[in-house]
Amino acid sequence: MTVVIKIEALNKAYKNHQVLNNLHWEINQGDIVGLLGKNGAGKSTLLKGLLNLCDIDGGTITLFGEDHLNLSAQTKGLIGYVPQENDEISWLSVSDLIKFRKQFYTTWCDEKVHQLVKRWNIDLTKKIAELSPGQVQRVLIILALASKPALIIFDEPAAALDPEGRRDFLKEIIALASEEHITIIFSTHITSDLERVANKVAILEQGHICYFDDLDTTKENVVQLVISHKIDEKITVPYVLRSKQHPKYLQCVVSQLDPNWLSTMKNQGVEIHVTPMGLEDIFLELTA
Amino acid sequence: MDQFTISPSSGVPIYKQLFSQIERMILNGYFVPDDILPSVRQVAADLEVNPMTVSKAYGLLEERGYLTRLRGKGMIVAKRDDEVSAREKLTTLSRTIENLIADAHLMGVSQQQLLTLFKQQITASSREIANNDNKE
């Protein structure tokens, strides 16, 4: 398993606020990672810091084994990035911007650009400043995908897109995922998009990655339990996140389902009903 | 190709949903031995999900003996032992029954009431099946 991104002890503060605090994170080739976090948690800061688009206060970051401050030109060519805001030159026309960007890459797929421009009805003659926010986002996505990157980082890529645009964007990601070994990170609030496309989910909270696991495993672990038991019986639930006692049963949410505990309970005649949860609810439980 | 449906925001992982669906389709004869399943890429594109998820479902079905990989063709439905099939059908149904019993318990419906309800439904269903047979 090749490690594509390795972050150790990352620190970043803005004024007096410690945004990223001793953050550790490791991403393998082929991972499609969804990054979740509350507003202001520092997702953009983390992604920008990773790409050296903003300074970090401490820690080490390596991309494809190279120090992120000293990436070779070849490695830089492997990385695509779609920011949340448009930092692109607004006074250039779309076609000129594409021509401009193309110069920096050794691999560039004109057909891909053409295909997406056509599909998304982008007027190549318009200046970036004249496009709607949705169209701008689409152009940014095209620019990132055109160079056939091995690592793509999206910062809230679908924020400005309407549902149809989002679906289209997801289709592109899925097509990318079909191609071998590409690594994708995207931060988003739209958990259903993540649920379709990501195989790993990470949660940024209190300045560090407080949770990072396989998405399927997460859905199998973070579950709701309804435990029916006799009123005087005291039941201890391992890995409990929160619980509420009702007259006839105990309702709780756990971060992990212990199979040994489960079978012990069953042997004691305690009835346990397991209800899985969607990612949005899981996120709320883990960050409560 | 609209055979499969999944719910991305369900608490049940997508690969499990697909696995259960295809398992059922094989057990009730919708897919028969030697049928070729659509490719991972095709299903992923149609359902708009990560192809790794589809691969996982197919892999699990292969592990459980439902599918066989055929070079150049993809995944085909495997021939199964009739006895094994019968057992699997009962296992699948008992999972459904387990959920039903749990739901009834949560609602405060007694097991006696549940049993009565079940018998009523079976009688009603057989009457309906008999009526439909007579119409044909």
Q: Cβ distance B126 to B133 under 8 Å?
A: no
What pLDDT, on a 0 to 100 scale, did the predictor assign at position A94?
Answer: 93
Determine the Cα–Cα distance for residues B24 and B93; give it in Å rounded to an integer.
10
Determine the Cα–Cα distance for residues A180 and A137; give it in Å rounded to an integer.
25
Q: Is the Cβ pair A192, B9 closer than 8 Å?
A: yes
Q: Cβ distance A69 to A75 under 8 Å?
A: no
User: Is the dihedral angle over the CA atoms A191, A196, A197, A199 positive or is it negative?
Assistant: positive
What pLDDT, on a 0 to 100 scale, did the predictor assign at position A249?
Answer: 86
Provide, as residue numbers in chain A, all residues whose Cβ is less than 8 Å from the Cβ of B12: 219, 276
Q: Name the residue ranges covered by the structural domains of chain A.
A: 3-217, 222-286
CB nearest to B9's CB, from A171, A273, A278: A278
Q: Cβ distance A141 to A157 under 8 Å?
A: yes
What pLDDT, on a 0 to 100 scale, did the predictor assign at position B1?
Answer: 53
Q: What's the fold here for domain A3-217?
A: Rossmann fold (3.40.50)
What pLDDT, on a 0 to 100 scale, did the predictor assign at position A179?
Answer: 73
What pLDDT, on a 0 to 100 scale, did the predictor assign at position B48?
Answer: 92
What pLDDT, on a 0 to 100 scale, did the predictor assign at position A180?
Answer: 66
Same CATH topology for A3-217 and A222-286: the answer is no
Asked whether the whole model's pTM tops 0.90, one would answer no
Q: Is the Cβ pair A216, B52 closer than 8 Å?
A: no
- The stretches in chain B having pLDDT less than 70 are 1-2, 136
Provide, as residue numbers in chain B, all residues whose Cβ is less than 8 Å from the Cβ of A273: 102, 105-106
Q: Could you report the average pLDDT of every consecutive run of 10 residues in chain A (288 residues)?
A: 93 92 95 93 93 93 94 91 82 92 90 92 92 88 91 88 86 82 89 92 94 95 88 80 87 91 85 92 91
A22 backbone dihedrals φ, ψ, rounded to 5°: 50, 50
Instruction: Tell me the H-state helices in B1-136.
Output: 14-27, 40-47, 51-63, 82-107, 111-135
A241 backbone dihedrals φ, ψ, rounded to 5°: -95, -45
Determine the Cα–Cα distance for residues A32 and A216; give it in Å rounded to an integer.
13
Instruction: Say if B14 is an interface residue toward chain A (CB within 8 Å).
Output: yes
Provide, as residue numbers in chain B, all residues whose Cβ is less than 8 Å from the Cβ of A174: 44-45, 48-51
Q: How many residues does chain B have?
A: 136
ipTM given for this complex: 0.83
Which of B5, B6, B9, B100 to mutate against chain A (most A CBs within 10 Å)?
Answer: B9
Minimum Cα–Cα distance from B17: chain A residue: A216
Residue of A198, A172, A176 whose CA lies nearest to A185: A198
Provide, as residue numbers in chain B, all residues whose Cβ is less than 8 Å from the Cβ of A192: 8-9
What pLDDT, on a 0 to 100 scale, did the predictor assign at position A248?
Answer: 81
Q: Which CATH number fits domain A222-286: 1.20.1690, 3.30.810, 3.30.70, 1.10.3470?
A: 3.30.70
Residue of A282, A83, A278 whose CA lies nearest to A202: A282
CB nearest to B8's CB, from A195, A249, A275: A195
Q: What are the DSSP calls for A55-101, one per residue?
A: --SEEEEEETTEETTS--HHHHTTEEEE-SS--S-TTSBHHHHHHHH
HSE-up of residue A34 (Cα within 13 Å, Cβ side): 27
